[in-house]
Amino acid sequence: MPSSDTHVSRSRVFPAVCSPPSSSALSIIDSSVSNYTTCGALFVFPAPTSPSTQIYSLDVLTRSLELVLTRYPQLCGTLRLVEYDPVLAKNDHTKRFGRVELLWGGEHDRGLDLIFATRPGAVSSILPRQVGTGAGTETGAHDVSSADRDLFVSPDAIVRLRGPDEGRGAIGVKVTTFSQGGIAIAVGMHHTLGDAQALSLFVGDWAMVHRSLLAGDESPLDHIPLRPFEPLRLDGYAAGNVDAPEEDGAIRDEALRVPQIRLDFWNSDEGKPPMISSPSRPPPEVAPLDEAMGRRRGTRIPWETWEWAKPVKDYLVDFSPDEVQRIWKSAAEPTSSGSVAQTGDAGDARDVGDVGDVDAGAGAGGSSGAVSRLDAVLAHVWRIVTRSRKNEGLVHLDMSLGLRNRLTPALPPTFLGSPIINLTASLQTSSLLSSLPAAARGIRGTIISSIHLLPSLIHHEAFALDPIREWNAFMGKEHLMVTSWLGIGAGEVEFGDGPAEWVCADMWPIDGLVVLMDKGTGRGWSKPREARGQEGRTRPRERTGDGRWHENGLTIRLVLTEDVMAAVLADPDLRPLL
């Protein structure tokens, strides 16, 4: 819907202390997400409890940004594709086509695009609205469409790597203040530089510096540890030699065992929607290599299964701790004594951020086959949506898997970049609908079977002719595309007057999208202010990733076509009987 924003100012913000000129190639996994949409979020805060305070002073917000950027100087740099050199590319995987590099410091800095805007009315006008009456109310669904696109960082503010260089930077912030009180702070960055976990770390650090300034702290950065930027550390986990002239065939075969759908853009020009920008044929630079390899093509993208022009509903649905527990008990395998195995606790206590991490099985690295609570909830939602869609045949659950704690040795949770891949669980509709335990085991098995193959997958990706050629997830009536913001600390961000009323991931409402959020991240406005916590004003909040989200339940954001959403909310099995 159209907004009535008035731009107050627009500027470029740079680190308070200029860093020396630096550069780095990004990891092959970062390069593979270089055509993704912006990674961003909207943090909505109510009017301060004391109207006379300057908690959201624009001057202090700007100064705290300048300071925190000294810990993240790379975010202000120049992001670009490497200049392809076929000779160098033979023995240096970072010089191959479509790989991304970053230059920052000095003349390379493009800064952070900062917009201050005002809007009439109250901040409550953009909070999710309870859905109508009847079935919608009974399921507790809330419509998030009140948060219009103008509140978020515009994609036009962020560099496009496959388009002309127009001087854009890699990160933007938009701050919207409301005439009747309250503020909305949007942050967006190029996906190669940060996934949801890295984004939340940055925003949390910014908020803490801001609180420190408000408290009169003369050394606010003392509360923020150094945040090393080491993207190529990820490529070091690859099996074999990624700088060899040719891919190792045995390692490639191992990589192809990873449970992924592999949709080939170079075989998918016909029927491609107009908003999809990925190239549908080999770029001229690698066309000779493609020809030498026999112009092999993978699976065509089934555009006809995605009715992209059909209206959708974008809703939040809460699941209470009791509901999560009941779903899990229904999905988990009973032990020989007839009781439900409790190993799912360890599975739910994996690290943070994505489906795979939060959802790992019990034991180190998630190697156990025990069904976790998140396996169970995902299987439950997958079944309800599939039934509402009246699917037949094979259906797919495409899940984001984080690599930080999946590799050996594990990367720290503060590792910066986008170390994420997609996995796919596929089941026949008849099998999915007939058995919740079978569906949950299918999800668990998909994750388990991938872990030991990750080094091979990184090797395989390093030899891709174009890292954005293959799509490992899809949308539309045969797919659900799942990402998770569980446990990454987004809901804990506070600039001085308590955590956000609501945090909304910046994602386009596409049929089949599922976003998992901590309960309260998306429903925080329903809590009394005193329950939202005021502690830790100047104390760093490292995310421990204990994974015990189920103690509060969770919020699931669902984007489905209007008819399917109505059927989902009316399904009596959506909410398990207590």
Nearest to 505 by CA among 400, 382, 373, 428: 400
Instruction: Give the per-residue pLDDT at 54.
Output: 85
Taking Cα atoms as reference points, which of 5, 476, 36, 420 lies closest to residue 197? Answer: 420
For 79, the 3-state DSSP assignment is strand
Question: Is 237 in contact with 455 (CB distance < 8 Å)?
Answer: yes
pLDDT value of position 284: 95
Domain 6-242 sits in CATH 3.30.559.10: yes
Q: Would you list the DSSP string of 540-559?
A: --------GGGGT-EEEEEE
- In sequence order, which ranges of 152-298 are alpha helices (DSSP H)? 196-214, 249-255, 287-292
Q: What is the pLDDT along the chain (578 residues), one digit of tens a residue?
A: 455 678 789 999 999 999 999 999 999 999 999 999 999 999 999 998 876 678 999 999 999 999 999 999 999 999 999 999 999 999 999 999 999 999 999 888 999 999 999 999 999 999 999 997 554 445 679 999 999 999 999 999 999 999 888 899 999 999 999 999 999 999 999 999 999 999 999 999 999 999 999 999 999 999 899 999 999 999 999 999 999 999 999 999 999 999 999 999 999 999 999 999 899 999 999 999 999 999 999 999 999 999 999 999 999 999 999 999 999 999 986 533 333 444 333 344 343 345 544 443 333 233 457 899 999 999 999 999 999 999 999 999 999 999 999 999 999 999 999 999 999 999 999 999 999 999 999 999 999 999 999 999 999 999 999 999 999 999 999 999 999 999 999 999 999 999 999 999 999 999 999 999 998 654 444 443 344 443 334 444 444 345 588 889 999 999 999 999 999 999 999 988 65
Q: How much is the pLDDT for 107?
A: 87
Q: What is the pLDDT of residue 343?
A: 38
User: Rounded to whole angstroms, what are the CA distances from 472 to 94, 109, 200, 534?
Assistant: 22, 33, 25, 42
Within this chain, domains 6-242 and 312-491+502-528+540-570 share the same CATH topology: yes
Residue 151 makes CB contacts below 8 A (sequence gap 6+) with 3, 42, 126, 174, 176, 184, 186
Evaluated on CA atoms 87, 90, 95, 98, the torsion sign reads positive
Residue position matching structure tokens 């993208």 = 301
Q: What pLDDT score was predicted for residue 578?
A: 52
Note the pTM of the prediction, 2 decimals: 0.92
- In this prediction, residue 422 carries a pLDDT of 98
Peptide bond into 409 cis (omega under 30): yes
Beta strands, E only, 124-182: 129-130, 142-143, 171-178
Q: Which CATH number fits domain 312-491+502-528+540-570: 3.30.559.10, 3.30.950.10, 3.40.50.620, 1.10.287.610?
A: 3.30.559.10
* Per-residue confidence (pLDDT) for residue 303, from 0 to 100: 97
Domain boundaries, the chain: 6-242, 312-491+502-528+540-570
Asked whether the beta carbons of 31 and 463 are under 8 A apart, the reply is no
